[in-house]
Amino acid sequence: MSDILDKIVAVKRQEIAAAQKRSPLEAVRFDAESRVLTRDFEGALRARITAGQAAVIAEVKKASPSKGVLREDFIPADIAQSYAEGDGQISAACLSVLTDKQFFQGGVDYLKQARASCDLPVLRKDFLVDAYQVYESRAMGADAVLLIAAILDDAQMKDYEAIARGLGMAVLVEVHDAAELERALELKTPLIGVNNRNLRNFEVSIQATIDLLPRVPADRLAVTESGIATREDVATLRAAGVHAFLVGEAFMRAKEPGEALAALFK
Q: What are the pLDDT digits (tens) for 75-93?
A: 999 999 999 999 999 999 9
12 is catalytic: no
From the list 12, 226, 249, 259, the catalytic residue is: 226
pLDDT in tens, 70-79: 999 999 999 9
15 is catalytic: no
Residue 131 buriedness (CB in 10 A; 0-12 / 13-18 / 19+): middle
Q: What pLDDT does 1 receive?
A: 62
225 is catalytic: yes
Q: What pLDDT does 110 receive?
A: 98
Q: Where are the beta strands (DSSP E) in 127-185?
A: 144-148, 170-175
Taking the alpha carbons at both ends of the chain, their separation in whole angstroms is 37
Q: Where are the beta strands (DSSP E) in 134-207?
A: 144-148, 170-175, 191-195
Q: What pLDDT does 2 receive?
A: 74
pLDDT in tens, 110-163: 999 999 999 999 999 999 999 999 999 999 999 999 999 999 999 999 999 999
pLDDT in tens, 160-215: 999 999 999 999 999 999 999 999 999 999 999 999 998 877 899 999 999 999 99
Residue 197 buriedness (CB in 10 A; 0-12 / 13-18 / 19+): middle
Domains of the chain and CATH, by start? 3-264 (3.20.20.70)
Please provide the average confidence, as pLDDT, over all residues in the chain: 96
From the list 174, 180, 249, 259, the catalytic residue is: 174
Taken in order 200, 205, 209, 211, the sign of the CA dihedral is negative
**Predicted TM-score (pTM) of this structure:** 0.96
From the list 12, 61, 62, 112, the catalytic residue is: 61
Q: Residues 150, 176: contact at Cβ < 8 Å?
A: yes
* Inter-helix orientation angle 3-22/131-139, to 10°: 60
Q: How many CA atoms lie within 13 A of 230 on its CB side?
A: 5
Q: What pLDDT does 250 receive?
A: 82
* Inter-helix orientation angle 131-139/25-34, to 10°: 40
pLDDT-above-70 percentage for the chain: 100
226 is catalytic: yes
Q: Residues 211, 181: contact at Cβ < 8 Å?
A: no
101 is catalytic: no
